[in-house]
Chain A
Amino acid sequence: MTPLLQIDNLHASVGEVSILKGINLTINPGEVHAIMGPNGSGKSTLSQILAGKEDYAITQGTVAYNGKDLLGLGPDERANEGIFLAFQYPVEIPGVSAMQFLKAAVNAKRKHHGEEELDAGSMLKLFREKAAQVKINPEMLKRNVNEGFSGGEKKRFEIFQMAVLDSVLGILDESDSGLDIDALKVVSDGVNSMRNGKRGFLLVTHYQRLLEHIVPDFIHVLVKGRIVESGGREVALELEKNGYAKYGIYQPAKH
């Protein structure tokens, strides 16, 4: 079986500063992986690199998505191929309504796959359907992208987009940070409703709280640019108990 995502010996830096120092990670279809790590470990960098952010220099290593090189693709091509990054800090885009934004994204993807653009009616239907699935209020779509959204609304809107775009590999960058329990539940229910044998997820988080709601198949610990430990649920429980101390970093892993 071809892995969904295969990261081999990935090194990345910003200017002179080396941030990722040889990441290896394989995600197969249907699997949910979690990367836990303290502040500054490089976990957000990894998510941004996977989505195609150009601020980083890849100095070594490869990333294959469905068996094909990923790093040569632009961010829009990756998205059209099914990669979705739920941003830690979704940017506000004044003047552009959420609906208008998503319509552009859906049609870009359809065009990429040689499909007809969706007419306005079907588009609205799709949005309503997905809004119901991830339990968001469709009224939100009339507002400008992320503008004036609360932290929770922003994260929920990210999950909604993931559902609308029917993504294959979802990367959730700290999607739990700053959420109250209700919002956290919406986010995790949304992800859980999308789990199936074909999709993969990469959850990036500092705290293990999210993992109580979205139970991963594998957990990796990222410290100073390297995966230092991999395992099952027990890894998260251990971190919850003792924080990152055993890796020489004195940060807790629970709120």
Chain B
Amino acid sequence: MATQDQEVLDLAESRRDYKYGWTTDIEQEFAPIGLSEDTVRFISAKKNEPEWLLEWRLKALRLFTKMTCPEWPFLPYGYEKPDFQAISYWAAPKQGPKSLDEIDPRILETYAKLGIPLEEAKVLLGVEGAAASAAEGKAKAKAMAAAQAEFETGAVSAEPRKVAVDAVFDSVSVKTTFQDELARAGVIFCSISEATHSHPDLVRKYLGSVVPVADNYYAALNSAVFSDGSFVYIPKGCKCPMDLSTYFRINAKGTGQFERTLIIADEGSEVCYLEGCTAPQRDENQLHAAVVELVAHKGAKIKYSTIQNWYPGDENGKGGIFNFVTKRGLCEGDDSHISWTQVETGSAITWKYPSVVLKGDRSKGEFYSVALTNLRQQADTGTKMIHIGRDTSSHIISKGISAGHGHNTYRGLVEVRKTATNARNFTQCDSLLIGDQCGAHTFPYIDVRNQTATCEHEASTTKIAEDQMFYCTARGISEEDAVSLLVNGFCKQVFSELPMEFAVEANKLLAVSLEGSVG
């Protein structure tokens, strides 16, 4: 395996620079290849799951086998449908770690290389220089980081924050940090596997309550074979003392990642959750079919941010992750609030529609998205806002950037049901085209059944304005940097929704992803 990976690395070297394209060579355990009841039983047994959960998975598998793959996403280049019998649904480091000391140092190294600290002494910061804040000159470094962040994002600088991390390596969660400190606040933050044992009632009550097992093709597959993911419960009235974060890494070859995340914010609570992902550079397509469910009770607020940087494949469209994800939040209680922010720069194909069901009166849903497609990437992404309660409101800002041979599609639904008196929606959907070989497509659906509702949808497609380019270059900024600067400006409404560290990271990621697309 080491040799193979070396080959992959050499291949990667000769190609585009995907910063996270390396692999970690550790001993891993795999499920037998293929999808069957046995596979599901194997996974369930590995995780030592209760009987009801195995039954739940088997039901999902039965439904999945009766469903057909969606044909509606817009894929100008087409794609080869995954062969579900050729994938291993379980890949885990052989050594099941219990504490940080027990984690294979190579995994720790992996996360360190990714800039994800699993040691609690450190804080998650994309800002260079802040890491040096440990010893002397702490205050100075902090000020420097703040100044830098101010430049990068224009955001008002904040103190570097503590972030608890759940690190998922292929199919298993290897480490969740700050669990004790969170526990003191009553917050449960652990892997979902752990939660099925430690908090079975909560898992049983909420799992599948927002995304039913057979909601859609890939959600059904996920329900049958999901491996790991994060579980979060924020108790009544609790403002989560730190941001929570999960970091997903696909490492093994010939596997898929099927994580499942469940976040419950009880009455009056608040939480900010961050998710990041990368994968090694490989010639084959790998499948990532996740399900994320959020439940916000009365007056609760959940802010969920994603930076998705899975390997996008090469310029000929070879390799890359198929990112087929179902994310949905339920504003169950009155005055609840769910906000999705996503920065999608990776994956060969992305199908992803983080949605909010606005059931509680006066509940509020938000979706802020930046999606960039370069090379031969194809993204079909957007959101659904389902207005059910009275005085519900939704706000959608989508920024699509197409470069190279990339195709970027916004697909969204705003549905105002009869009961949603005085519902309000505002949607702004802008596309930017860089180069003449790419495409930008917009397919919104607006369904209104209540006469007191107001929906506004605006969309535009343009290229970078020549006068803005000239203004930048006339100040000495190179064309490539000017494009990156202007693209960053185009995305600002979305970046400003991200925590500062993520915004800085997102900004850099965009610049890297756009490299070579100008001129």
Contacts and interface: CB of A to CB of B under 8 A. Distances in A.
Verify whether A and B have any Cβ pair under 8 Å. yes
Given A100-B154, A112-B476, A93 B471 contact: yes
Interface string A97-140: 10111111100110010000001110110000000000000000
Contacts of A105: 472, 475-477
Interface stretch (B9-17, B282-290, B487-495): B487-495
Nearest to B155: A97
B216 interface: no
Interface of B: 143-144, 147-148, 150-152, 154, 465, 467-468, 470-479, 481-482, 485-486, 488-493
Interface in A16-33: none
B476 A76 contact: yes
A78 B477 CA distance: 10
Interface of A: 51-53, 74-80, 85, 87, 90-91, 93-97, 99-105, 108-109, 112, 119-121, 123-124, 142, 144-145, 161, 165
A75 B144 contact: no
Given A96-B486, A108-B481, A120-B147, A74 B473 contact: yes
B331 to A, nearest CB: 29
Contact of B489 (A96, A102, A112): A96
11 contacts: A75-B473, A76-B475, A76-B478, A85-B474, A93-B472, A94-B490, A97-B154, A99-B150, A99-B151, A101-B485, A105-B476
Given A90-B471, A120-B144, 13 more contacts: A76-B472, A79-B474, A79-B477, A85-B474, A93-B472, A94-B489, A95-B492, A97-B151, A101-B472, A103-B151, A104-B481, A104-B482, A120-B148
Contact of A53 (B143, B470, B490): B470
A28 B283 CA distance: 61
B100 to A, nearest CB: 33
Contacts of B144: 119-121
B488 A95 contact: yes
Nearest to B489: A95
B473 A52 contact: yes
A161 B476 CA distance: 11
Contacts of A112: 476
A77 B475 CA distance: 9
Nearest to B465: A91
A91 B478 contact: no
A10 B488 CA distance: 38
Nearest to A51: B474
Nearest to A52: B474
A146 B148 CA distance: 21
A90 B485 CA distance: 17
A93 B474 contact: no
Contacts of B491: 95
A42 B312 CA distance: 50
Contacts of B152: 100
Contacts of A85: 474
A100 B473 CA distance: 14
B470 A96 contact: no
Given A91-B467, A101-B485, A96 B492 contact: yes
Contacts of A95: 488-493
A77 B479 CA distance: 11
Nearest to A90: B471
A165 B475 contact: yes
A6 B479 CA distance: 27
A165 B474 CA distance: 11
A120 B504 CA distance: 14
B92 to A, nearest CB: 42
A76 to B, nearest CB: 4
A79 B492 contact: no
Contact of B468 (A78, A80, A93, A97): A93
Contacts of B154: 96-97, 99-100, 142, 144
Contacts of A104: 472, 477, 481-482, 485
Contacts of B147: 120-121, 123-124
Nearest to A83: B474
A123 B493 CA distance: 25
A168 to B, nearest CB: 12
Contact of B477 (A76, A90, A97): A76
B149 to A, nearest CB: 9
Q: Lowest 9 CB-CB distances: which A-B pairs, in order?
A: A95-B489, A79-B476, A95-B492, A96-B489, A97-B154, A120-B147, A75-B473, A105-B475, A120-B148
A90 B465 CA distance: 13
With a 10 A CB-CB cut-off, give which of B148, B151, B474, B488 has the most chain A CB atoms: B474
Given A91-B467, A93-B486, A79 B148 contact: no
Contacts of B478: 76, 108
A30 to B, nearest CB: 23
A101 B474 CA distance: 12
A80 B476 contact: yes
A67 to B, nearest CB: 20
B492 A94 contact: yes
With a 10 A CB-CB cut-off, give which of B151, B475, B482 has the most chain A CB atoms: B475
A79 to B, nearest CB: 3
A84 B46 CA distance: 67
A47 to B, nearest CB: 10
Nearest to A97: B154
Contact of A96 (B143, B148, B474, B485): B485
B111 to A, nearest CB: 27
A105 B476 CA distance: 6
A144 B472 CA distance: 13
Contacts of A90: 471
A87 B472 CA distance: 12
A53 B472 CA distance: 12
Contacts of A77: 476
A85 B470 CA distance: 11
Contacts of B472: 76, 93, 101, 104-105
